[in-house]
Amino acid sequence: MVALLFAAQFALPTTGYTQNATKATEAKKAETPKTPEDDDKDATTVTVQGKKRVEPTGKEVYDVSKDPAAATGTAAEALNKVPGVSVDAQGDVSVRGQTARVYLNGRPSLMLSGDNRAVALRAMPSAYISSIEVISNPGAQYSSSGSGPIVNIVTKRNLPPGLFGSVSAQVASRGGGNTNAYLSYTQGKLNISGFAAVFDGRFDSDFDSASTAFDASGSAIREARSEGAVTGRYRIGSLTTNLQYDLSDNDVLTGGLSYNQGRVNSDFAGYTASRGADGALSDGFRSQSDGRTPNDNGSLSLGYTHYGQKPDQSFKLDLTVSQSNRDAPSLTRLDYERASESTNTGTRYTRRDGGSNTRTAMLSAAYNTTFDRVQVSVGAHFDTETSKTETLSYGPAGSVADLQLDALLSNHFRYAQQSAAVYATAQWELTPKWTLLAGLRAETLELSTKAPGTTLENHIDYTRLNPSLFATYAFSAKRRLRFSYTHKQQRPQPVDLNPGLVFSSATAVTIGNAALGPEEADNLEVTYEVNRPHSDYRITGFYRFKDETLVTSSRVIADPQNLGNFVTETTRKNAGQERNYGLTATYSQRWNNTLTVNFDTTVTYVDIDVPELSIRRSDTALSGGVSLNYALKTGSLSLNYKLNGRRYTTQGYRGANGSGMIDYRRNLMPKLSLVITVQEPLPLTKIETVTETNRFRSVSASENRTPTIMIGLSRQLGGFSSVPKRP
């Protein structure tokens, strides 16, 4: 759940494109002792609050180091200042309404994925971020496993000598809190850095659902309604260390070790009522369950970088190995008022145990250089992943002591996955106005799955060629027109191929599809942008086409546990096509380094056609966001709000919802700040999910109890400086 690969990737740049001088030139600059402020002056990019530097085609680069608030802020605050980018309280990052992957120095990071992301982004000091890159349509140099945008956080490479860092702690209104510290020590050619964090949080939400099953004529034959609440607590401890050593002016070695351990405790209480075709109550019971999910993760990273004599010339080699373990035991108690099964009287118990172990290894190499006006990048990436998952189902029984293993509902699943890719890109400055970037990626995947104790084994392998093309036409230094095209795949998750029956809840089970293949996606964007000294705006038209779409197919089945639940079984298939097209508008305005306002809105027309499932859906969705960042005389105030429009699927949609956050920072002393955070200040977090086919309909809603207020102190050490007072 929390931070892996944090400082281990701190010292490495993202690509050769972001280098503005050779390593040897930077070494000469480093002969004179520097402060963090001096380091900022060396940067050639411009502030996140202002216009961008002339960036490589295909990405937007925003300089964080010139932001006055960067000395005491966090990565989450820096991201929310980038036009079109927003971070919500759960750590989900979006780019103009699209869910984004977050990279660290040009590569995926376990720390910045899943449940880890929210914690890590609020703990990472923005003072160590050099720039933020927004890649709305990733090209050939990026993995073909996803077609969404990428936000890449690039950390500073040359840190001043001495000890620098920050320590902060907050307590939350709902209980718990967090403490984190980052320290960096540089002496001569050696830099040692470390990140430690302890988080103790609470969560609680209410939910309700209504489901109806229909016969072939469309008549209702059964319905169920449920309501309840989930409360819980998570506790996470994380430690990451990194070492960087400059072998010479042009050669750098890095190494990192990360470990974190966490536990999530959750308790559920609710009531379910099921009725037959005649409307009479057939099953009515109260349910209580508790789950305990301990997990731990560890990783080791090694890296080598050589900087050539040309600007933008480098060779990088990276190796990462990691392992994660997760257990998920739970116990459920059902108290019956009425039951359709004669055995379901009084109190009944069920239990599920099991866990997973996953090991990964990744090796990548990249070479970047220039030939006159052409920038060339070639690279290769290899990774291997093995995993084993075990799910054990017990009961039902009248007491915990009488629970027996149910072999039919227990599942063992193994998979081994290997992928390899090579790519090449070339960027030409064709004329002073035209710049072109072309790329090609060849990627192969081999995936073997097995269900021990059965004959269910499967092997999948395929190779794909994925081209990309970007072009930029500069009307002037302030106005540009951009074109981009990419072809990619969305791989199915290995668990989607699991042939066993797996419970995701008492009322929902999944079963894999061994024949599942990748989804093909084509993305086309055309953008007109204007960059002025104190304002920017851009309008983007987009068209996204998916073929062999990974669709979810659901049906109502008899309850495998015979407990009277209304149970749906889902599986995934390759079927049909999906088209999304529309417009995105982004506007950013700054006033004297005091107030920054970012606004974005996206209108999307969605067209889904799956003849195999007799599904045709089309509709329009609206989403957007706004952020205000105000530099006070003795601190800063940040307000961010994001509205997520409806998200359509083959079987229905996820309803619109909002997410917001307020951050207030006051400098009590030059290096001591009071920090107050309000998560979800508005009660608009209710999420409704609708699933509708010709045989059943389900409407469920969940709502977090809001708001959550966090208050604490942040202390800067060494070279950090306080936010300058407003003029």
565 closest CA partner among 157, 289, 366: 289
Which residues are CB-contacts of 200 (< 8 A; sequence separation ≥ 6)? 175, 176, 177, 178, 233, 234, 235
* Residues 82/132, Cβ–Cβ less than 8 Å: yes
pLDDT at 32: 33
Angle ∠(236,240,244) on CA atoms, nearest 5: 170
Residue with tokens 């109260």: 286
Residues, the chain, total? 727
Residue with tokens 């007109």: 528
Question: Domain 7-451+470-717 - what CATH class?
Answer: mainly beta
pLDDT at 68: 65
Q: What distance in Å separates the CA atoms of residue 121 and residue 73, rounded to the nearest whole number?
A: 11
Instruction: Name the amino acid, one letter, at 11.
Output: A
- Distance from chain centroid for Cα 317: 25
pLDDT at 19: 33
The verdict on whether omega for the bond into residue 33 sits within 30 degrees of 0, i.e. cis, is no
Q: What distance in Å separates the CA atoms of residue 677 and residue 712, rounded to the nearest whole number?
A: 9
Q: What's the DSSP call for residue 125?
A: B
Find the distance separating the first CA and the last CA of the chain, reported in whole Å. 42
Residue 708, both tokens:
């959550």
Q: What distance in Å separates the CA atoms of residue 365 and residue 421, rounded to the nearest whole number?
A: 11
Residue with tokens 């105000």: 630
pLDDT at 3: 34
Longest CA–CA span in the chain (Å) reads 86
How many CB atoms lie under 10 A from the CB of residue 5? 28
Q: Is 214 left (phi over 0), alpha (psi -120 to 50) or beta?
A: beta
Residue with tokens 């373990």: 325
Q: What distance in Å separates the CA atoms of residue 82 and residue 362, rounded to the nearest whole number?
A: 30
**On the CB side of 258, how many CA atoms lie within 13 Å of its CA?**
31
Query: Rounded to 5 degrees, what are φ and ψ at 572?
Result: -115, 145
What are the sequence ranges of the domains in the chain? Answer: 7-451+470-717
Give me the residues of the chain with pLDDT under 50, please: 1-54, 720-727
Q: What distance in Å separates the CA atoms of residue 677 and residue 628, rounded to the nearest whole number?
A: 15
